[in-house]
Chain A
Amino acid sequence: MMFDALFGYNYTRRKLLKKTNSTVMQEFLSNPFPDKKDLITNMDIVSIDFETTGLDIAKDKVISIGTVNIGHLAVNLISSSHQLIKTKKQLPESSVVIHQITDTQITDAMSIENALPILLKKLSGKVMLAHNAKIELGFINKMCQELYGSDFIIPVIDTQYLAKRSFERQNKVFKSNELRLFNLRKSYNMPAYKAHNALMDAIATAELFLAMVSKIASNKNACLRDFLP
């Protein structure tokens, strides 16, 4: 990730592409990502959210993946998808309660070996959007290392980071609670979605991002760069 900051994600992408023998990774890395100077209005962005058995990337597992595409600053629900992931680990009760996923549902699920290539295909050449993206990034990176022996790279827009930056730029004191998806949405006059699953959260994040873009005065000229760390 250090190279990323120094030379840019497309540089890292090309480097990883040269190194990897995995066809899945080769396919993912062969499409160039948008340039930092590209306009956000025309950009293809994939909003993603994972539900996991916990927050420890080393031990925990992904149990569902929700994605939805943004194009021309509109969320296209036709692209929405929700994939449950098979896990051998018993689901802890807390995650059952939060995500309303039970072991029975998990049996309809796909193995991560089958699901990850599908996800990578969706993300190839795109910008990834997530709320508190380090969770999703961390899990994808770990899975890519385990399954394909390669690191993962993608330009990432993180709505939580954007909110934090906005508070800091305004010298506003804020509580960590205010950075939660639910509370941020409320401040943008957005409906509170009751359901908590990976897809609804991916959609909620996508909507929040549209709101954040609209708040930038010159949003018609906003570039990807303006949303990256």
Chain B
Amino acid sequence: MEIELIEIRDFIALYPPFNILDENALNTLPKKLTIRYFRKGSIFPDLTLDNKNLYIIRTGAVELRNQQEQLVDKLSEGDIFLSKDASDKTSNEIKGVCVEDTLVYLLGFEDLFLLQNEFNDFDRQFNFSVNERLRHAVELSHSADMRDLSAMKLEVSELTDRQPVIVDAVTTIQDAAKLMTNEYVSSILVTNNGKLVGLLTDKDIRTRCVAKGLGYDEPVSSIMSTGLETVLDKTLLSEALLLMTRNKIHHLPVMKDDEAIGILTTSDVVRHLSANPTLIATDIYKANSVDALKKISARLPELQLQLSLSSSTAKHIGEVFSSITDAITCRLIELAEDLYGKAPVEYVWTAGGSQARNEQTSHSDQDNALIISDELQPEDEKYFENLSSFVCDGLDACGYIYCPGEAMASNPLWRQPLKVWVKKFTHWIQSPEPKALMLSSIFFDLRPVYGTFSLFTELQNNVLTQTKNNEFFISHMVGNALTHQPPLGFFKNFVMVQDEKHKNTLDVKHRGVVPIVDIARVIALDNGIKATNTVERLDYALKCNALSVEMHDNLIDALEYIGSLRIRHQAKQIRAGLDADNYLPPEELSGLEKNHLKDSFSIIKTMQHFFESRYPSARIR
């Protein structure tokens, strides 16, 4: 290649789909391009001239609008646009206008086809439909197998994350100490003719050298530990732990094919065990005070970090955290019962919102309610007030902050006998006022956590009988579900939102997760589905033909993709010592991720249009 075109190559190499091309393909690409300039205000692309070209925006901006003049996309530096073959009558009429002076690189279809033939991943970017691209992305992000997080089944190699530092036996103590300082390690391995002969720790230098007044020029062999116990990379963590405890040792060289690949230390083990969901649950049931529970819940952000590093799915992480919240709730109720005695009448503690849906992350508000038996006597009310306050205060202390909308059992409104609950729901369903609809996201997602579950089942059956095929109520719910619209996509490092100013951050929860959750709830109520989890609701919806296979699969992929980005964003914040939130800055996303997100948004949009057209009265609201 002409070395002088490197600048054009380097630009193209930054952006998908070209960023997956190999060196050779990238080097030959610039010569295949032509350059065009579009003045601000001109029609894009210039239909009188070509087409059959792929456009790559070099500088400038282009707005694309559909036949209804609605903005569908805005292209900026690095974005691509595929001009439609003029003979293709099926293509949607999308019109573009340059809103800035725009310089573009064009690649002809013939050259594009050659690249598609040569590179599978490149091909995928163009040939696959929106949903297929997204599915592929979801698969890739989980290509590491879902691991069994039970600590005892873990192999030690999964805990040793760095190569061991190795010195020769003749190295002086001082040189070894310098190396340990530079490498930030507290232990190193010692070899003789490549054979592992010993291990040297900070403690050895302190006790066997400095304290004894031994010269720093002595070889490390004079103070190292010998006769080492070692483990193989495939050794189970449980065995390694046993070996360490039995021999009172803190360091274990990890071997693979006669070569040391790492050192397992007790702190590695402790760090791992403390962030293990099973062990956390065990600790919760052993905790004897709110303070003890508070300490345990302080470990939850680390657990989320570990889970996200182990490439767990967003769905799995949601299940783990919701079950931990369940455990903490149950333990708090038991502690309250220790304090106030057994309940005078039967009741059930129910979780609402994301906990009920098994979709919590480490940072969530509390939503809950108490359904009490109709045998409730006025003099019993004090007991349930005490119980609810104790549990809600305890949850708040554990980081599940009070629900800003007061949707908690400590609020007398949501601590009622079954018959009152039935009346409440009946009222909401028969006159779906805005306030009722606002509460719907909490109280139409309820799940029993502790107590007499049959009280809940009775309420649920009653509610679902009323909502099932209730056109009037459902169309109100659809209208409510449509209030959260996904963004159009990204423009530079901004989030593009229809009819609004661009935003600096993407609210992944309200713009991505909530629209899907809302629609799944509507489908569940419409079809009498008992499940609360969004994926499960969608699965049932498929079974009762409320959703097509395609829409079902697309929604699940979009939910998982958005969820995984949310988890990753939160993991990043946790690692930086920040509180996790749902506001994703676009600069955290790669170009490809932005494209996948855009695909996810368009899937949500399609689904919303579908429901909008099925319940036309929903649109008015």
Contact = CB atoms under 8 A, between A and B. Distances in A.
Contact of A188 (B34, B49, B101, B106): B101
Given A77-B34, A191-B103, A210-B36, 11 more contacts: A73-B37, A77-B32, A78-B31, A82-B2, A82-B3, A82-B4, A190-B59, A193-B7, A195-B4, A197-B4, A211-B37
Nearest to A75: B35
Interface stretch (A1-9, A15-23, A198-206): A198-206
A80 B5 contact: yes
Interface in B228-268: none
A214 B42 contact: yes
Contact of A73 (B36, B58, B59, B101): B36
A75 B38 contact: no
Nearest to A105: B3
Contacts of B35: 74-75, 77, 203, 206-207, 210
A100 to B, nearest CB: 10
A215 interface: yes
B39 interface: yes
A193 B36 CA distance: 16
Contacts of B58: 191
Contacts of B296: none
A66 B6 CA distance: 15
Q: Which 8 A-B pairs have the closest CB atoms?
A: A75-B35, A210-B37, A199-B4, A214-B39, A189-B101, A74-B34, A77-B33, A211-B37
B101 A75 contact: no
B6 A195 contact: yes
Contacts of A215: 39
A189 B5 contact: no
Interface string B54-79: 00001110000000000000000000
A48 to B, nearest CB: 14
Give the interface residue-count category, chain A.
Answer: 20 to 34
Interface string A73-97: 1111110111000000000000000
B101 A199 contact: no
B38 A77 contact: no
Contacts of B546: none
Nearest to A202: B4
29 contacts: A73-B37, A74-B34, A74-B36, A74-B106, A75-B36, A77-B5, A77-B8, A78-B31, A80-B2, A80-B4, A80-B5, A81-B2, A188-B37, A188-B101, A189-B101, A189-B102, A189-B103, A190-B101, A195-B4, A195-B6, A197-B4, A198-B4, A200-B4, A207-B37, A207-B103, A210-B37, A211-B101, A214-B37, A215-B39
Interface of B: 2-8, 11, 30-39, 42, 49, 58-60, 100-103, 106
B31 A80 contact: yes
A167 to B, nearest CB: 18
The winner among A189, A197, A203 for most chain B CB atoms within 10 A is A189
A203 to B, nearest CB: 7
Interface in A184-227: 188-191, 193-195, 197-200, 203, 206-207, 210-211, 213-215
Given A76-B34, A77-B34, A203-B35, A191 B59 contact: yes
Contacts of B11: 191
B296 to A, nearest CB: 55
Interface of A: 66, 72-78, 80-82, 188-191, 193-195, 197-200, 203, 206-207, 210-211, 213-215
Contacts of A197: 4
B5 A199 contact: yes
B30 A189 contact: no
A83 to B, nearest CB: 10
B73 to A, nearest CB: 20
A159 B106 CA distance: 23
A191 B101 CA distance: 11
A224 B39 CA distance: 20
Contacts of A77: 5, 8, 30-35
Contact of A214 (B30, B38, B59): B38
Contacts of A188: 37, 101
Contacts of A199: 2, 4-5
Given A77-B8, A195-B6, A190 B32 contact: no
Given A77-B35, A190-B103, A207-B35, A72 B49 contact: yes
Contacts of B3: 82
A207 to B, nearest CB: 6
B484 to A, nearest CB: 36
Nearest to B60: A189
A189 B59 contact: yes
The winner among B30, B36, B38 for most chain A CB atoms within 10 A is B36
A207 B118 CA distance: 31
A125 B58 CA distance: 32
A215 B3 CA distance: 32
Contacts of A73: 36-37
B89 to A, nearest CB: 26
A81 to B, nearest CB: 7
A207 B58 CA distance: 12
B319 to A, nearest CB: 48
A217 B166 CA distance: 73
A76 B35 CA distance: 7
Nearest to B38: A214
A44 to B, nearest CB: 14
Contacts of B5: 77, 80, 199
Contacts of B39: 211, 214-215
Nearest to A76: B34
The winner among A82, A195, A197 for most chain B CB atoms within 10 A is A195
Contacts of A190: 59, 101, 103
B102 to A, nearest CB: 8
Nearest to A195: B7
Contacts of A80: 2, 4-5, 31
A13 B6 CA distance: 38
Contacts of A189: 59-60, 100-103
Nearest to A210: B37
Nearest to A219: B39
Contacts of B32: 77-78
Contacts of B42: 214
A197 B5 CA distance: 10
A80 B6 CA distance: 13
A228 B32 CA distance: 31
A197 B3 CA distance: 10
Contacts of B37: 73, 188, 207, 210-211, 213-214
A200 B35 CA distance: 13
A73 B59 CA distance: 18
A64 to B, nearest CB: 9
B208 to A, nearest CB: 58
A26 B188 CA distance: 80
B34 A66 contact: no
A106 to B, nearest CB: 14
